[in-house]
Amino acid sequence: MRFTGLTEISDMMSHLLTGVAKVAVITDGLRGSYIQSKGAEMFHQPAYSVAKTIDSTGCGDVFHGAFLHGYLSRWQIRRCSDFASRLASINASGLGGRFVLKTDLNLLAS
């Protein structure tokens, strides 16, 4: 909202995808995220829940890093967003912004 000055998610996406951007992701914490590729329909990725949230520090960074990993690996957009959402939730189940790095990421990428 602060970046675009708009209030509707669909309007924000249209604004973000104007120009050279090929994909836009708007994260919304526990409400999940909204993803749209240029020329495709926007979709909602629900946030995964964890049995016990310990610390949300770094969850957004983990989400964006995991999404970009998948995107640059040429995964389908929905796989990127699901992977990113899962890793962000795992990160919240431990202390610190890099808890997820202690996880075997190869198991999660399948």
78 located within any domain: yes
Identify each DSSP E strand in 1-110 by its residue range.
Answer: 23-27, 33-37, 43-45
Question: Residue 48 is part of a domain; what is its CATH number?
Answer: 3.40.1190.20
1 located within any domain: no
Rg of the Cα atoms in the chain: 14
Q: What is the pLDDT of residue 110?
A: 54
2 located within any domain: no
Short-list 54, 38, 65, CA closest to 86: 65
Short-list 85, 89, 93, CA closest to 54: 93
For residues 35 and 70, give the distance between their C-alpha atoms in angstroms, rounded to a whole number. 14
pLDDT averages per 10-residue partition of the chain, 110 residues: 92 94 93 95 95 88 94 96 93 80 62
Q: What is the pLDDT of residue 108?
A: 61
Number of domains in the chain: 1
Q: What is the pLDDT of residue 7?
A: 94
Q: What is the pLDDT of residue 96?
A: 80
3 located within any domain: no
